[in-house]
Structure 1
Amino acid sequence: MTDSRTSPADAPSPASRVRELLVRDGWTQRRFADTIGLDETKLSKSLAGRRQFSATELVAIADATGVTVARLLHGRDDAGTHTAAPAGAAVSPAENAAGARGTDGGSRRTRRRILEAAWNLIADHGYHRVRTADVARACGTSPAAIHYHFPTRSGLLDEALRHNVKLAFDRQVAELGEVPDPHDRLLRLIDLQLPDGELLRREWSIWIQVWAESAIDPARRELYWDSYDRWFRSVLMTLRDGAASGAFVAGRAEPLASQLTALIDGLGIQVMAGTPGTGPEQMRAVLHDFIDRAVLAVPGTTDRTENG
Protein backbone atom coordinates (compact mmCIF):
# COMPACT_ATOMS: atom_id res chain seq x y z
CA MET A 1 0.00 0.00 0.00
CA THR A 2 3.02 2.28 0.21
CA ASP A 3 5.64 3.39 -2.27
CA SER A 4 9.15 4.08 -1.03
CA ARG A 5 9.78 6.37 -3.99
CA THR A 6 7.23 8.86 -2.72
CA SER A 7 6.81 8.05 0.99
CA PRO A 8 10.04 8.61 2.94
CA ALA A 9 10.25 7.03 6.36
CA ASP A 10 9.64 10.30 8.21
CA ALA A 11 6.58 11.28 6.13
CA PRO A 12 3.12 11.37 7.75
CA SER A 13 1.36 8.01 7.65
CA PRO A 14 -1.96 7.38 5.88
CA ALA A 15 -3.52 7.04 9.35
CA SER A 16 -2.33 10.49 10.38
CA ARG A 17 -3.60 12.00 7.13
CA VAL A 18 -7.02 10.45 7.67
CA ARG A 19 -7.09 11.77 11.24
CA GLU A 20 -6.35 15.27 9.90
CA LEU A 21 -9.22 14.99 7.43
CA LEU A 22 -11.65 13.94 10.14
CA VAL A 23 -10.67 17.00 12.17
CA ARG A 24 -10.78 19.24 9.10
CA ASP A 25 -14.35 18.31 8.23
CA GLY A 26 -15.71 17.79 11.74
CA TRP A 27 -16.36 14.05 11.44
CA THR A 28 -16.97 11.91 14.49
CA GLN A 29 -15.41 8.45 14.23
CA ARG A 30 -18.81 6.79 14.46
CA ARG A 31 -20.33 8.86 11.66
CA PHE A 32 -17.28 8.47 9.46
CA ALA A 33 -17.22 4.70 10.01
CA ASP A 34 -20.89 4.50 9.00
CA THR A 35 -20.25 6.64 5.93
CA ILE A 36 -17.41 4.50 4.59
CA GLY A 37 -19.01 1.21 5.64
CA LEU A 38 -16.32 0.22 8.12
CA ASP A 39 -16.73 -1.19 11.62
CA GLU A 40 -15.98 1.59 14.12
CA THR A 41 -13.55 -0.61 16.06
CA LYS A 42 -11.58 -1.35 12.88
CA LEU A 43 -11.53 2.35 12.01
CA SER A 44 -10.24 3.19 15.49
CA LYS A 45 -7.45 0.62 15.19
CA SER A 46 -6.48 1.92 11.75
CA LEU A 47 -6.43 5.53 12.92
CA ALA A 48 -4.19 4.48 15.82
CA GLY A 49 -1.80 2.72 13.45
CA ARG A 50 -2.55 -0.78 14.74
CA ARG A 51 -4.29 -1.88 11.55
CA GLN A 52 -3.62 -1.02 7.90
CA PHE A 53 -6.40 0.37 5.73
CA SER A 54 -7.32 -1.99 2.88
CA ALA A 55 -7.42 -0.82 -0.73
CA THR A 56 -11.22 -0.81 -0.67
CA GLU A 57 -11.26 1.24 2.54
CA LEU A 58 -8.79 3.78 1.13
CA VAL A 59 -11.03 4.29 -1.89
CA ALA A 60 -14.06 4.79 0.37
CA ILE A 61 -12.15 7.27 2.54
CA ALA A 62 -11.00 9.21 -0.50
CA ASP A 63 -14.55 9.28 -1.80
CA ALA A 64 -15.99 10.54 1.48
CA THR A 65 -13.36 13.24 2.05
CA GLY A 66 -12.83 14.41 -1.53
CA VAL A 67 -9.08 13.80 -1.53
CA THR A 68 -7.29 11.23 -3.67
CA VAL A 69 -5.90 7.90 -2.53
CA ALA A 70 -2.52 9.14 -3.77
CA ARG A 71 -2.73 12.01 -1.28
CA LEU A 72 -3.74 9.65 1.52
CA LEU A 73 -0.82 7.32 0.81
CA HIS A 74 1.89 9.67 -0.39
CA GLY A 75 0.81 13.21 0.51
CA ARG A 76 0.50 14.39 -3.12
CA ASP A 77 -2.01 13.85 -5.92
CA ASP A 78 0.80 13.53 -8.45
CA ALA A 79 2.99 11.16 -6.44
CA GLY A 80 4.90 8.63 -8.54
CA THR A 81 2.63 5.57 -8.68
CA HIS A 82 1.71 2.96 -11.27
CA THR A 83 -1.13 5.07 -12.69
CA ALA A 84 -1.34 8.56 -14.18
CA ALA A 85 -2.82 11.43 -12.16
CA PRO A 86 -5.70 13.57 -13.46
CA ALA A 87 -4.64 16.86 -15.00
CA GLY A 88 -6.08 19.92 -16.71
CA ALA A 89 -9.85 20.15 -17.01
CA ALA A 90 -10.25 16.65 -15.52
CA VAL A 91 -9.47 18.03 -12.06
CA SER A 92 -12.50 19.49 -10.32
CA PRO A 93 -12.04 23.10 -9.11
CA ALA A 94 -13.59 21.97 -5.82
CA GLU A 95 -10.69 19.58 -5.23
CA ASN A 96 -8.53 22.64 -4.73
CA ALA A 97 -9.63 24.19 -1.42
CA ALA A 98 -8.65 27.65 -2.60
CA GLY A 99 -11.06 27.36 -5.52
CA ALA A 100 -13.95 25.64 -3.78
CA ARG A 101 -17.24 27.38 -3.07
CA GLY A 102 -17.76 26.99 0.65
CA THR A 103 -14.79 25.04 1.93
CA ASP A 104 -15.97 24.27 5.47
CA GLY A 105 -16.56 20.63 6.35
CA GLY A 106 -20.36 20.85 6.25
CA SER A 107 -20.36 22.51 2.85
CA ARG A 108 -17.94 19.93 1.48
CA ARG A 109 -20.15 17.10 2.71
CA THR A 110 -23.25 18.74 1.20
CA ARG A 111 -21.52 19.19 -2.14
CA ARG A 112 -20.32 15.60 -2.04
CA ARG A 113 -23.84 14.33 -1.25
CA ILE A 114 -25.29 16.32 -4.16
CA LEU A 115 -22.65 15.06 -6.57
CA GLU A 116 -23.16 11.44 -5.54
CA ALA A 117 -26.93 11.73 -6.01
CA ALA A 118 -26.52 13.41 -9.40
CA TRP A 119 -23.93 10.86 -10.51
CA ASN A 120 -26.21 7.95 -9.63
CA LEU A 121 -29.25 9.52 -11.30
CA ILE A 122 -27.42 10.45 -14.50
CA ALA A 123 -25.83 7.01 -14.73
CA ASP A 124 -29.13 5.19 -14.14
CA HIS A 125 -31.60 7.40 -16.02
CA GLY A 126 -29.61 9.52 -18.47
CA TYR A 127 -28.45 13.13 -18.32
CA HIS A 128 -31.39 14.53 -20.29
CA ARG A 129 -33.95 12.85 -18.03
CA VAL A 130 -32.54 14.16 -14.75
CA ARG A 131 -33.85 17.46 -13.41
CA THR A 132 -32.44 19.60 -10.64
CA ALA A 133 -35.53 18.79 -8.58
CA ASP A 134 -34.76 15.07 -8.96
CA VAL A 135 -31.26 15.58 -7.57
CA ALA A 136 -32.56 17.69 -4.69
CA ARG A 137 -35.13 15.05 -3.78
CA ALA A 138 -32.58 12.23 -3.98
CA CYS A 139 -30.14 13.88 -1.58
CA GLY A 140 -32.68 15.51 0.70
CA THR A 141 -31.84 19.14 0.00
CA SER A 142 -33.35 22.09 -1.85
CA PRO A 143 -32.98 23.06 -5.53
CA ALA A 144 -31.38 26.27 -4.27
CA ALA A 145 -28.61 24.24 -2.62
CA ILE A 146 -28.05 22.37 -5.89
CA HIS A 147 -27.73 25.65 -7.79
CA TYR A 148 -25.33 27.04 -5.18
CA HIS A 149 -22.86 24.21 -5.60
CA PHE A 150 -23.60 23.49 -9.28
CA PRO A 151 -24.94 26.64 -10.98
CA THR A 152 -25.87 24.82 -14.22
CA ARG A 153 -27.30 21.39 -14.97
CA SER A 154 -24.62 20.96 -17.62
CA GLY A 155 -22.06 21.50 -14.88
CA LEU A 156 -23.47 18.47 -13.07
CA LEU A 157 -22.60 16.24 -16.04
CA ASP A 158 -19.11 17.73 -16.17
CA GLU A 159 -18.62 17.00 -12.48
CA ALA A 160 -20.04 13.51 -12.94
CA LEU A 161 -17.28 12.83 -15.48
CA ARG A 162 -14.63 14.28 -13.17
CA HIS A 163 -16.02 12.04 -10.45
CA ASN A 164 -15.58 9.07 -12.80
CA VAL A 165 -11.95 10.06 -13.34
CA LYS A 166 -11.30 10.34 -9.61
CA LEU A 167 -12.99 7.01 -8.85
CA ALA A 168 -10.84 5.21 -11.42
CA PHE A 169 -7.66 6.99 -10.31
CA ASP A 170 -8.29 6.18 -6.65
CA ARG A 171 -9.10 2.56 -7.40
CA GLN A 172 -5.95 2.12 -9.50
CA VAL A 173 -3.62 3.79 -7.00
CA ALA A 174 -5.02 1.66 -4.17
CA GLU A 175 -4.96 -1.62 -6.10
CA LEU A 176 -1.85 -1.40 -8.29
CA GLY A 177 0.73 -0.20 -5.77
CA GLU A 178 1.67 -3.75 -4.79
CA VAL A 179 1.69 -5.22 -8.32
CA PRO A 180 5.29 -4.79 -9.49
CA ASP A 181 5.11 -7.15 -12.49
CA PRO A 182 3.94 -5.16 -15.57
CA HIS A 183 2.06 -8.10 -17.09
CA ASP A 184 0.11 -8.79 -13.89
CA ARG A 185 -0.46 -5.06 -13.50
CA LEU A 186 -1.85 -4.68 -17.02
CA LEU A 187 -4.28 -7.55 -16.48
CA ARG A 188 -5.32 -6.08 -13.13
CA LEU A 189 -5.72 -2.63 -14.70
CA ILE A 190 -8.11 -4.13 -17.23
CA ASP A 191 -10.06 -5.94 -14.51
CA LEU A 192 -10.48 -2.65 -12.65
CA GLN A 193 -12.18 -1.13 -15.73
CA LEU A 194 -14.50 -3.97 -16.78
CA PRO A 195 -18.20 -2.95 -16.68
CA ASP A 196 -18.87 -5.58 -14.02
CA GLY A 197 -21.01 -4.68 -11.02
CA GLU A 198 -23.14 -1.64 -10.25
CA LEU A 199 -20.35 0.87 -9.66
CA LEU A 200 -18.42 0.11 -12.85
CA ARG A 201 -21.55 -0.06 -14.97
CA ARG A 202 -22.49 3.39 -13.73
CA GLU A 203 -19.02 4.69 -14.57
CA TRP A 204 -19.36 3.29 -18.08
CA SER A 205 -22.82 4.85 -18.41
CA ILE A 206 -21.39 8.28 -17.59
CA TRP A 207 -18.54 7.78 -20.09
CA ILE A 208 -20.91 6.76 -22.88
CA GLN A 209 -23.13 9.77 -22.25
CA VAL A 210 -20.14 12.13 -22.26
CA TRP A 211 -18.91 10.60 -25.53
CA ALA A 212 -22.31 11.29 -27.08
CA GLU A 213 -22.46 14.85 -25.72
CA SER A 214 -18.89 15.59 -26.84
CA ALA A 215 -19.73 14.51 -30.38
CA ILE A 216 -22.26 17.34 -30.67
CA ASP A 217 -20.93 19.90 -28.17
CA PRO A 218 -17.38 21.15 -28.86
CA ALA A 219 -17.38 23.03 -25.54
CA ARG A 220 -17.30 19.72 -23.67
CA ARG A 221 -14.42 18.20 -25.62
CA GLU A 222 -11.51 19.63 -23.62
CA LEU A 223 -12.88 18.04 -20.45
CA TYR A 224 -13.36 14.76 -22.28
CA TRP A 225 -9.85 14.88 -23.79
CA ASP A 226 -8.19 15.55 -20.44
CA SER A 227 -10.30 12.91 -18.71
CA TYR A 228 -9.58 10.22 -21.27
CA ASP A 229 -5.91 11.20 -21.41
CA ARG A 230 -5.48 10.07 -17.79
CA TRP A 231 -6.68 6.57 -18.66
CA PHE A 232 -4.56 6.44 -21.83
CA ARG A 233 -1.45 7.55 -19.94
CA SER A 234 -2.05 4.87 -17.29
CA VAL A 235 -2.17 2.14 -19.92
CA LEU A 236 0.85 3.65 -21.68
CA MET A 237 2.87 3.73 -18.44
CA THR A 238 2.24 0.04 -17.88
CA LEU A 239 3.13 -0.89 -21.45
CA ARG A 240 6.36 1.09 -21.22
CA ASP A 241 7.25 -0.58 -17.92
CA GLY A 242 6.65 -3.96 -19.53
CA ALA A 243 8.78 -3.11 -22.55
CA ALA A 244 11.61 -1.90 -20.31
CA SER A 245 11.50 -5.15 -18.32
CA GLY A 246 11.47 -7.29 -21.45
CA ALA A 247 8.00 -8.69 -20.77
CA PHE A 248 6.33 -6.72 -23.59
CA VAL A 249 7.38 -6.09 -27.17
CA ALA A 250 9.76 -3.15 -27.48
CA GLY A 251 9.18 0.10 -29.36
CA ARG A 252 5.40 -0.20 -29.70
CA ALA A 253 4.03 1.16 -26.43
CA GLU A 254 2.11 4.11 -27.95
CA PRO A 255 0.41 2.27 -30.83
CA LEU A 256 -0.40 -0.62 -28.51
CA ALA A 257 -1.91 1.79 -25.98
CA SER A 258 -4.09 3.27 -28.74
CA GLN A 259 -5.20 -0.16 -29.93
CA LEU A 260 -5.83 -1.54 -26.45
CA THR A 261 -7.84 1.45 -25.20
CA ALA A 262 -9.90 1.49 -28.41
CA LEU A 263 -10.59 -2.23 -28.01
CA ILE A 264 -11.63 -1.73 -24.38
CA ASP A 265 -13.99 1.09 -25.41
CA GLY A 266 -15.64 -0.91 -28.17
CA LEU A 267 -16.05 -4.04 -26.08
CA GLY A 268 -17.35 -2.05 -23.11
CA ILE A 269 -20.01 -0.39 -25.25
CA GLN A 270 -21.15 -3.81 -26.49
CA VAL A 271 -21.41 -5.09 -22.92
CA MET A 272 -23.32 -2.01 -21.78
CA ALA A 273 -25.68 -2.30 -24.76
CA GLY A 274 -26.46 -5.90 -23.85
CA THR A 275 -25.24 -7.21 -27.21
CA PRO A 276 -25.95 -10.97 -27.30
CA GLY A 277 -22.88 -13.05 -26.54
CA THR A 278 -21.10 -10.26 -24.68
CA GLY A 279 -20.40 -9.75 -21.00
CA PRO A 280 -17.51 -8.90 -18.66
CA GLU A 281 -16.05 -12.41 -18.88
CA GLN A 282 -16.14 -12.43 -22.67
CA MET A 283 -14.65 -8.94 -22.70
CA ARG A 284 -11.82 -10.06 -20.42
CA ALA A 285 -11.11 -13.07 -22.62
CA VAL A 286 -10.84 -10.97 -25.79
CA LEU A 287 -8.53 -8.47 -24.09
CA HIS A 288 -6.31 -11.21 -22.66
CA ASP A 289 -6.09 -12.75 -26.12
CA PHE A 290 -5.03 -9.40 -27.62
CA ILE A 291 -2.38 -8.95 -24.92
CA ASP A 292 -1.12 -12.49 -25.46
CA ARG A 293 -0.81 -12.08 -29.22
CA ALA A 294 0.17 -8.43 -29.61
CA VAL A 295 1.72 -7.21 -26.36
CA LEU A 296 3.74 -10.01 -24.76
CA ALA A 297 7.30 -10.43 -25.95
CA VAL A 298 6.86 -14.19 -25.41
CA PRO A 299 3.23 -15.10 -26.18
CA GLY A 300 1.43 -17.77 -24.22
CA THR A 301 1.73 -16.64 -20.58
CA THR A 302 -1.68 -15.01 -20.04
CA ASP A 303 -3.32 -18.13 -18.57
CA ARG A 304 -1.46 -17.77 -15.26
CA THR A 305 -3.74 -14.84 -14.32
CA GLU A 306 -6.76 -15.67 -16.48
CA ASN A 307 -9.14 -15.27 -13.55
CA GLY A 308 -7.80 -11.90 -12.47
Structure 2
Amino acid sequence: ALSGTRRFTVAELARIADEGRVDADWLLGTRPRERETAPAVRVEGGRPLQIVRETVRLIAEHGFHAVRVADIARACATSSAAIHYHFPGRAELLEAAVRWCMDEDTARRATHLAEADDAAAELRQLIALQTPRTAQQRRQWAVWLDLWAEAARSTAVGRLHSEYYRQWRETVTDVLRRGVGQGVFRAGIDPHAAALTLTALIDGLAT
Protein backbone atom coordinates (compact mmCIF):
# COMPACT_ATOMS: atom_id res chain seq x y z
CA ALA A 1 0.00 0.00 0.00
CA LEU A 2 2.83 2.41 0.81
CA SER A 3 4.33 1.80 -2.63
CA GLY A 4 1.01 2.74 -4.23
CA THR A 5 0.18 -0.66 -5.73
CA ARG A 6 -2.99 -1.05 -3.65
CA ARG A 7 -5.13 0.89 -1.18
CA PHE A 8 -5.25 0.21 2.53
CA THR A 9 -8.47 -1.55 3.54
CA VAL A 10 -10.76 0.18 6.02
CA ALA A 11 -10.05 -2.54 8.57
CA GLU A 12 -6.29 -1.98 8.19
CA LEU A 13 -6.66 1.79 8.58
CA ALA A 14 -8.81 1.33 11.68
CA ARG A 15 -6.20 -0.94 13.26
CA ILE A 16 -3.34 1.42 12.42
CA ALA A 17 -5.29 4.32 13.92
CA ASP A 18 -6.06 2.23 17.02
CA GLU A 19 -2.41 1.23 17.48
CA GLY A 20 -1.33 4.85 17.03
CA ARG A 21 -4.13 6.07 19.32
CA VAL A 22 -5.27 8.62 16.75
CA ASP A 23 -8.51 9.30 14.92
CA ALA A 24 -8.72 7.51 11.55
CA ASP A 25 -9.90 10.72 9.86
CA TRP A 26 -6.80 12.49 11.18
CA LEU A 27 -4.66 9.61 9.91
CA LEU A 28 -6.15 10.07 6.43
CA GLY A 29 -5.76 13.84 6.62
CA THR A 30 -9.48 14.32 6.03
CA ARG A 31 -10.64 15.56 9.43
CA PRO A 32 -11.82 19.17 9.07
CA ARG A 33 -10.13 21.90 11.06
CA GLU A 34 -11.90 22.24 14.39
CA ARG A 35 -13.85 25.44 14.91
CA GLU A 36 -13.37 27.30 18.17
CA THR A 37 -17.12 27.63 18.65
CA ALA A 38 -18.03 24.04 17.79
CA PRO A 39 -15.53 21.25 18.49
CA ALA A 40 -15.59 18.44 15.91
CA VAL A 41 -17.57 15.36 16.93
CA ARG A 42 -15.27 12.36 17.21
CA VAL A 43 -16.48 9.28 15.37
CA GLU A 44 -15.39 6.00 16.97
CA GLY A 45 -12.86 4.34 14.67
CA GLY A 46 -12.94 7.27 12.26
CA ARG A 47 -15.35 8.21 9.50
CA PRO A 48 -14.43 5.41 7.02
CA LEU A 49 -15.13 2.71 9.59
CA GLN A 50 -18.41 4.38 10.56
CA ILE A 51 -19.44 4.43 6.90
CA VAL A 52 -18.66 0.74 6.52
CA ARG A 53 -20.52 -0.24 9.68
CA GLU A 54 -23.62 1.70 8.63
CA THR A 55 -23.39 0.23 5.12
CA VAL A 56 -23.34 -3.29 6.57
CA ARG A 57 -26.35 -2.50 8.77
CA LEU A 58 -28.34 -1.00 5.90
CA ILE A 59 -27.48 -3.86 3.52
CA ALA A 60 -28.65 -6.36 6.13
CA GLU A 61 -31.91 -4.49 6.62
CA HIS A 62 -32.75 -3.51 3.03
CA GLY A 63 -30.40 -5.29 0.59
CA PHE A 64 -27.48 -3.72 -1.23
CA HIS A 65 -29.38 -2.54 -4.29
CA ALA A 66 -32.01 -0.80 -2.17
CA VAL A 67 -29.42 1.21 -0.22
CA ARG A 68 -28.53 4.62 -1.65
CA VAL A 69 -25.45 6.65 -0.85
CA ALA A 70 -27.82 9.29 0.53
CA ASP A 71 -29.15 6.69 3.00
CA ILE A 72 -25.64 5.91 4.21
CA ALA A 73 -24.83 9.61 4.50
CA ARG A 74 -27.97 10.19 6.56
CA ALA A 75 -27.11 7.28 8.89
CA CYS A 76 -23.62 8.73 9.37
CA ALA A 77 -24.90 12.30 9.83
CA THR A 78 -22.70 13.49 6.98
CA SER A 79 -22.99 14.38 3.28
CA SER A 80 -23.03 12.18 0.19
CA ALA A 81 -19.87 14.00 -0.94
CA ALA A 82 -18.11 12.84 2.23
CA ILE A 83 -19.12 9.24 1.48
CA HIS A 84 -17.79 9.52 -2.08
CA TYR A 85 -14.54 11.01 -0.76
CA HIS A 86 -13.74 7.77 1.05
CA PHE A 87 -15.53 5.37 -1.34
CA PRO A 88 -15.86 6.62 -4.94
CA GLY A 89 -18.67 4.23 -5.88
CA ARG A 90 -21.10 1.54 -4.73
CA ALA A 91 -18.66 -1.20 -5.75
CA GLU A 92 -16.03 0.16 -3.35
CA LEU A 93 -18.64 0.39 -0.59
CA LEU A 94 -19.70 -3.22 -1.06
CA GLU A 95 -16.10 -4.43 -1.19
CA ALA A 96 -15.29 -2.55 2.03
CA ALA A 97 -18.41 -3.96 3.72
CA VAL A 98 -17.45 -7.49 2.70
CA ARG A 99 -13.87 -7.03 3.94
CA TRP A 100 -15.15 -5.72 7.27
CA CYS A 101 -17.48 -8.72 7.71
CA MET A 102 -14.63 -11.08 6.81
CA ASP A 103 -12.29 -9.44 9.32
CA GLU A 104 -14.94 -9.56 12.05
CA ASP A 105 -15.65 -13.22 11.32
CA THR A 106 -11.95 -14.15 11.29
CA ALA A 107 -11.35 -12.37 14.60
CA ARG A 108 -14.31 -14.11 16.28
CA ARG A 109 -13.22 -17.46 14.87
CA ALA A 110 -9.67 -17.07 16.24
CA THR A 111 -10.96 -16.04 19.69
CA HIS A 112 -13.37 -18.98 20.01
CA LEU A 113 -10.90 -21.57 18.73
CA ALA A 114 -8.35 -20.40 21.29
CA GLU A 115 -10.88 -21.15 24.04
CA ALA A 116 -11.61 -24.73 22.90
CA ASP A 117 -10.09 -27.73 24.69
CA ASP A 118 -9.85 -30.13 21.74
CA ALA A 119 -10.73 -30.44 18.06
CA ALA A 120 -14.29 -31.60 18.80
CA ALA A 121 -14.91 -28.45 20.85
CA GLU A 122 -13.30 -26.38 18.10
CA LEU A 123 -15.65 -27.85 15.49
CA ARG A 124 -18.68 -27.15 17.68
CA GLN A 125 -17.47 -23.54 18.04
CA LEU A 126 -17.06 -23.19 14.27
CA ILE A 127 -20.56 -24.50 13.60
CA ALA A 128 -22.00 -22.15 16.22
CA LEU A 129 -20.20 -19.21 14.65
CA GLN A 130 -21.43 -19.98 11.12
CA THR A 131 -25.10 -20.69 11.85
CA PRO A 132 -27.29 -17.56 12.13
CA ARG A 133 -28.85 -18.16 15.52
CA THR A 134 -28.31 -14.66 16.96
CA ALA A 135 -29.52 -11.30 15.64
CA GLN A 136 -25.95 -10.27 14.79
CA GLN A 137 -25.32 -13.51 12.89
CA ARG A 138 -28.58 -13.12 10.95
CA ARG A 139 -27.59 -9.58 9.94
CA GLN A 140 -24.23 -10.82 8.73
CA TRP A 141 -25.85 -13.65 6.78
CA ALA A 142 -28.17 -11.15 5.10
CA VAL A 143 -25.03 -9.38 3.86
CA TRP A 144 -23.52 -12.70 2.71
CA LEU A 145 -26.63 -13.43 0.63
CA ASP A 146 -26.14 -10.15 -1.22
CA LEU A 147 -22.46 -11.03 -1.56
CA TRP A 148 -23.23 -14.32 -3.30
CA ALA A 149 -25.30 -12.51 -5.92
CA GLU A 150 -22.68 -9.81 -6.48
CA ALA A 151 -19.81 -12.31 -6.57
CA ALA A 152 -21.22 -13.67 -9.83
CA ARG A 153 -21.00 -10.18 -11.41
CA SER A 154 -18.09 -8.41 -9.70
CA THR A 155 -14.50 -9.59 -10.11
CA ALA A 156 -13.34 -7.83 -6.92
CA VAL A 157 -16.16 -9.19 -4.75
CA GLY A 158 -15.81 -12.58 -6.40
CA ARG A 159 -12.16 -12.74 -5.36
CA LEU A 160 -13.08 -11.83 -1.78
CA HIS A 161 -15.81 -14.47 -1.82
CA SER A 162 -13.38 -17.16 -3.01
CA GLU A 163 -10.71 -16.12 -0.51
CA TYR A 164 -13.15 -16.18 2.41
CA TYR A 165 -14.36 -19.68 1.58
CA ARG A 166 -10.82 -20.90 1.01
CA GLN A 167 -9.82 -19.70 4.50
CA TRP A 168 -12.93 -21.21 6.05
CA ARG A 169 -12.44 -24.64 4.41
CA GLU A 170 -8.75 -24.68 5.39
CA THR A 171 -9.69 -23.93 9.00
CA VAL A 172 -12.28 -26.72 9.11
CA THR A 173 -9.94 -29.15 7.33
CA ASP A 174 -7.19 -28.45 9.87
CA VAL A 175 -9.57 -28.97 12.80
CA LEU A 176 -10.80 -32.27 11.36
CA ARG A 177 -7.25 -33.47 10.69
CA ARG A 178 -6.17 -32.67 14.25
CA GLY A 179 -9.33 -34.29 15.60
CA VAL A 180 -8.44 -37.56 13.89
CA GLY A 181 -4.96 -37.34 15.42
CA GLN A 182 -6.46 -36.67 18.86
CA GLY A 183 -8.84 -39.61 18.51
CA VAL A 184 -11.99 -37.46 18.91
CA PHE A 185 -13.02 -38.10 15.26
CA ARG A 186 -13.04 -41.48 13.57
CA ALA A 187 -10.00 -42.47 11.56
CA GLY A 188 -10.16 -42.78 7.80
CA ILE A 189 -12.22 -39.66 7.01
CA ASP A 190 -11.09 -37.33 4.24
CA PRO A 191 -10.72 -33.93 6.00
CA HIS A 192 -10.96 -31.96 2.74
CA ALA A 193 -14.14 -33.73 1.57
CA ALA A 194 -15.69 -33.53 5.04
CA ALA A 195 -14.95 -29.78 5.25
CA LEU A 196 -16.62 -29.21 1.87
CA THR A 197 -19.68 -31.24 2.88
CA LEU A 198 -19.98 -29.44 6.20
CA THR A 199 -19.68 -26.04 4.47
CA ALA A 200 -22.48 -26.95 2.04
CA LEU A 201 -24.71 -28.16 4.90
CA ILE A 202 -24.15 -24.98 6.95
CA ASP A 203 -24.78 -22.70 3.96
CA GLY A 204 -28.00 -24.56 3.10
CA LEU A 205 -29.22 -24.42 6.70
CA ALA A 206 -28.32 -20.76 7.07
CA THR A 207 -30.05 -19.79 3.83
Normalising TM by the smaller chain, what interval?
A: 0.7 to 0.9
1:152 equivalent in structure 2: 89
1:64-115, Cα deviation, whole Å (9 max, x unpaired): x9xxxxxxxxxxxxxxxxxxxxxxxxxxxxxxxxxx8559897951111111
Amino acid at match of 1:168: D
Structure 1 unpaired stretches of 5+: 1-17, 27-64, 66-99, 270-308
Q: Secondary structure at the match of 1:192?
A: helix
Q: Does residue 261 of the first structure (1) align with residue 184 of the second (2)?
A: no
SS where residue 229 of structure 1 aligns? helix
Aligned to 2:190: 252
Which residue of structure 1 aligns with residue 46 of structure 2?
109
| In 2, Cα distance between equivalents of 1:174 and 1:223 | 22
- TM-score (structure 2 length as normaliser): 0.77
Matches within 5 A, 1:61-72: none
Match of 2:65 in 1: 128
Per the TM alignment, residue 266 of structure 1 is displaced from its structure 2 partner at its CA by 0.8
**Is this contact kept in 2: 1:124–1:202, CA < 8 A?**
yes
- Give the Cα separation in 2 of the matches to 1:268 and 1:221: 20
Q: Which runs of 5+ in 2 are unaligned?
A: 1-14, 32-41
- Residue in structure 1 matched with residue 104 of structure 2 by the alignment: 167
The within-5 A match list for 1:1-308 is 21=18, 24-25=21-22, 101-102=28-29, 109-249=46-186, 250-269=188-207
Distance 1:202 1:106, change over 3 A: closer
Name the CA shift for 1:103/1:223 in 2 (closer, same or farther; >3 Å): farther
Structure 2 SS opposite 1:25: coil
Distance 1:102 1:195, change over 3 A: farther
Distance 2:86 2:44 in 1: 9
2:151–2:157 contact (8 Å) kept in structure 1: yes
Displacement after TM superposition at 1:176 (Å): 1.9
Superposition deviation, residue 217 in structure 1: 3.7
Paired with 2:22 and 2:169, the residues of 1 have a C-alpha distance of 34
Provide the TM-score with structure 1 as the length reference.
0.53
Change (3 A) 1:178 1:112: same
Q: Distance in 1 between matches of 2:66 and 2:115?
A: 41
Q: Deviations over 1:96-141 (max 9, x none)?
A: xxxx855989795111111111110011100000000000000111
Alpha-carbon distance, 1:178 to partner: 2.0
1:24, 1:106 → 2: CA distance? 13
Question: 1:238 is aligned with what amino acid?
Answer: V
